[in-house]
Amino acid sequence: MTDPAASSAPASSSGSSAAPDRAPAPDVVERALLDDPPDAGGLTPAARHALRELPPSLATLGNLFIRAGHELSLVGGPVRDAFLGVMPHDLDCTTSARPEQTEEILSAWGDACWDVGRNFGTIGARRGGVVVEVTTYRTEEYEVDSRKPAVAYGDTLSGDLTRRDFTVNAMALRLPDLVLVDPHGGLADLRAGVLRTPVSAVQSFDDDPLRMMRAARFSAQLGFDVEMDVMNAMTRMAPRLEIVSVERVRAELERLLVSPWPRRGLELLVHTGLADVVLPELAALRETVDEHHRHKDVYEHTLTVLDQAMGLETRADGPVPAPDLVLRLAAIMHDVGKPVTRRFLPNGTVTFHGHDHVGARMTKKRLRALRFDKQTIKDVSRLVELHLRFHGYADAGWSDSAVRRYVTDAGELLERLHRLTRADVTTRNKRKARMLDAAYDDLEARIAALRQAEELAAIRPDLDGRQIMDELGIEPGPVVGEAYRFLMDLRMEKGPMGEELARQALRSWWAARDDEG
C-alpha cells in the first residue's frame, strides 16, 4: 500500500474516471490486519505504528462492551487517519448498545461521562487523557425540505457503515482486537486516493445534502479526487444544499479553507455549482473571463492568490501561523467586486474602479449570510478594502505620514495585509513582478524604521480627550471628536510633536474655527 499522506496532491481538482466495483468477497470484509505479515500489502509501516499506538484503554472499553453483550468498534475518521499513518486525535466509536446502556458502561470505564447528543445516540467519556464518543448504530436521512436529519437506530455494524458519507470513512475496527470491517472497499479507495460513496452518490446526497460539501472538504483535506459518479451527483443535486442549516455549511467551508489543498475543494465547488449556493461571489468571477485578453482571468488569478498567500503563512511562532482562515478568506474574496465594477473603455481597455470598496461590502454581506463571527467578518472585509492601498506606493513614493496612515488603518491586520498584497502579484511580467516586490520591500523597511522611532502600532494624538477638553474649556460632545481628529491628522503628518506644540496647534485650530463660525 502506498501511503497517500506521503504523496503530493495535484494543484487542481478533477473527477476521476468511474472506479471499478470494489465490493469485497465476504471472506475479506473482516480481517485482523495486525496479524498480517509486514509484506502482505495491507499496511504501511506508519499505519501499522499508528494502530499499535492506539490507547490500551480502548481495548479495555471494548472488552466491557463485549461482556455486556454488545459490540464496539472504532469507526470513521480515526480509522481512515490510522491507515494514512496519522495518529487519530478524535476517537469515535459505534456500538450496538442503546444510549442508556452505553452510558452505564462508559460510567464504569471512565473518570467522567457526559451526554453529547442523546437524541442522536451519542455519549462521551474520558479516562485519563483518552476521550471517546460512542454512538449507537444508526441510519439518518433528510425529509423533503427539512434542515435536520431524521435519526433512527440501526442493528448492525454493516448497516451503520453503509449510511456513512464515503467509503474511506466507512471502515471500522472491531474492539478490542482491531479487526478491520470494510464492506465497501474503503481501504482500496484510500490507496487509490479517490472519494466514492458506499451507496449511489444520488442516494447518499439525498439522505444528507451536506455530504456534497464534505466531498469538496475531503478533496481539499486529503488531496483526493472524487469519482465521476460523485461529481455528477453534486452537479445535479447542488440546489438541495439549500435545505441544510447555514451553520453546518459554514463549518464545512471553514474546514475546507484551512485544509492543505483548499484550491482543489474550491474548484470542485465552482465546477459542480455548489459555489452558486455557498459562495456565489467566487463563482461569479468566471464571468470576467475575457476572450480578448484585455485583462487577466480573475477567477484563476484569485485561486493563484490563495496559493501564494498560503505560501506566505508562517510557522506557529510567526506573525501569521498556518493555516490562517482570515488571510485565506481575504484571498478568495479580494476581487469579488470586479464583476459588478467592470467597465469597457472606448480605447479597448477594461477598468474595475472601486472594486476594493465594493468587494469589501459584498464580502461583509456574504460572511454575515454564512454566519461567521463578527471579528472574522470585520477582519476579512477590512483586508479586502485595503488590498489595493499599496499600489499608490508602487507608483510614487509615500510621505512618512502616508506610511503612518497605512499602518494605522491596517492595525492588527498589518502582517496579513503584507501577505495579501504580495500574494496579489500574479503577473507573468517578471520585470514588473520584481519591481513590485522591491517596492513592497522598501515599504516594509520604512514601516520598520518608523515603528522603531515612533511605535507606530500605538499611534495616538499628542493630547487625549480629557486634555483637549481641559485646554479648550469645553464639555464632552461632538466638538471633542473634531479636535481629536484634527490632532490625529496632525500626528500623521508631522509625527510626534510633544504636548506643548500640540496645545499650540489645538488653540490655533480652535481660534480659526471660532472665526469661521
Which H helix or E strand runs over 88?
none
pLDDT per residue as tens digits for the range 2-58:
333 333 343 344 444 333 344 443 334 566 666 655 444 567 888 888 888 899 999
- Hey, what domains does the chain have and what are their CATH numbers? 23-184 (3.30.460.10), 296-458 (1.10.3210), 465-516 (no CATH)
Choice among 157-166, 181-190, 487-496 with the minimum mean pLDDT: 487-496
Q: What is the mean pLDDT of the chain?
A: 86
Nearest CA-CA partner of 263 in 1, 44, 77, 13: 13
**Percent composition of the chain: helix, strand, coil (DSSP 3-state, to 5):** 55, 10, 30
Give the Cα separation of 51 and 38 in Å (integer).
Answer: 14
Q: How far apart are CA 367 and CA 373, in angstroms?
A: 8
pTM: 0.79
Closest CA to 158 of 134, 177, 178, 184: 184
Does residue 485 contact residue 444 with C-beta atoms inside 8 Å? no
The C-alpha cell at 398 is 509615500
Backbone dihedral region of 399: left (phi > 0), alpha (psi from -120 to 50 degrees) or beta? beta
13, 225 contact by CB (below 8 A): yes
Classify residue 88 by burial, with Cβ atoms within 10 Å: 0-12, 13-18, 19+: buried
Q: Decide if pLDDT at 293 tops 70.
A: no
- Number of C-beta neighbours around residue 406 at 10 A: 21
**Quick check: 67 and 97 in contact, CB under 8 A?**
no
- pLDDT for 453 equals 66
User: Is a pLDDT exceeding 60 seen at residue 467?
Assistant: yes
Q: Please give the pLDDT value at position 253.
A: 98
Mention every residue, 6+ apart, whose C-beta is less than 8 A from residue 437.
Answer: 422, 425
**What's the pLDDT tens digit per position in 414-461?**
999 999 999 999 888 888 888 888 888 988 888 888 877 665 555 677
Compute how many other C-beta atoms are within 10 angstroms of the C-beta atom of residue 403: 20
d(CA 261, CA 219): 8
- pLDDT for the residue 134: 97
Spatial contact of 116 and 132, defined as CB atoms under 8 Å apart? no
Q: What is the pLDDT of residue 500?
A: 86
Q: Does the pLDDT of residue 238 top 70, yes or no?
A: yes
Say yes or no to pLDDT of 177 above 60: yes
- Would the pLDDT of 485 be above 90? no
d(CA 79, CA 4): 14
399-412 pLDDT per residue, tens:
888 888 888 899 89
Beta bridge partners of 126: 112, 131
Cell numbers at residue 189, please?
479507495
Task: Spell out the residues 6+ positions from residue 271 whose beta carbon is closer than 8 angstroms to its own.
Answer: 13, 231, 235
CA proximity to 151, closest of 75, 101, 212, 207: 207
Percentage, residues of the chain above pLDDT 90:
56
Residue type, 463: L
Of 92, 3, 93, nearest in space to 42 by CA: 3
pLDDT in tens, 121-142: 899 999 999 999 999 998 755 5
User: Do 19 and 231 contact (CB within 8 A), yes or no?
Assistant: no
The partner residues of 124 in beta bridges, in order of sequence, read 114, 133
Give the whole-number percent of the chain exceeding pLDDT 70: 85
Side-chain half-sphere exposure of 292, counting CA atoms within 13 A: 5
Cell triple for 83:
491507515
DSSP string, 320-363: SBSS-HHHHHHHHHTTTTHHHH-EE-TTS-EE-TTHHHHHHHHH
What pLDDT is stored for residue 456 in this prediction? Answer: 53
Question: Quick check: 299 pLDDT over 90?
Answer: yes
> What digits encode the pLDDT tens for the residues 191-222?
999 999 999 999 999 989 999 999 999 999 99
Distance CA 83, CA 86 (A): 7
- Residue 33: the pLDDT is 63
The pLDDT score that the predictor gives to residue 316 is: 93
Region 387-406: mean pLDDT is 81
Helices (H), 258-312: 262-272, 275-278, 280-284, 298-311
- Predicted pLDDT at 11: 38
36-45, 149-158, 310-319, range with the lowest pLDDT: 36-45
**pLDDT at residue 383 greater than cutoff 80:** yes
Query: What span, in angstroms and rounded, lies between the C-alpha atoms of 311 and 423?
Result: 9
Checking if the pLDDT of 149 tops 80, the result is: no
Rounded CA-CA distance 81/90 in Å is 10
**In this structure, are residues 447 and 456 in contact, taking their beta carbons and an 8 Å threshold?**
yes
Q: Is 124 helix (H, G, I), strand (E, B) or coil?
A: strand
Can you name the residues that pair with 394 across neighbouring β-strands?
Answer: none
Residue 75's contacts (CB-CB under 8 Å, 6 or more residues apart) are 92, 93, 94, 160, 161, 171, 172, 173
Residue 387: the pLDDT is 95
CA distance 469 to 474: 5
Please check the confidence at residue 59 and state whether its pLDDT lies above 80: yes
* Structure confidence at residue 428 (pLDDT): 83
Using CA atoms, how far residue 484 sits from 119, 408, 425, 478, 508, in Å, is 57, 15, 37, 10, 14
CB atoms within 10 A of CB 455: 11
User: What is residue 382's predicted lDDT score, i.e. its pLDDT?
Assistant: 97
- Residues 1 and 191: beta-carbon distance below 8 Å: yes
d(CA 134, CA 72): 8
pLDDT (0 to 100) of residue 328: 98
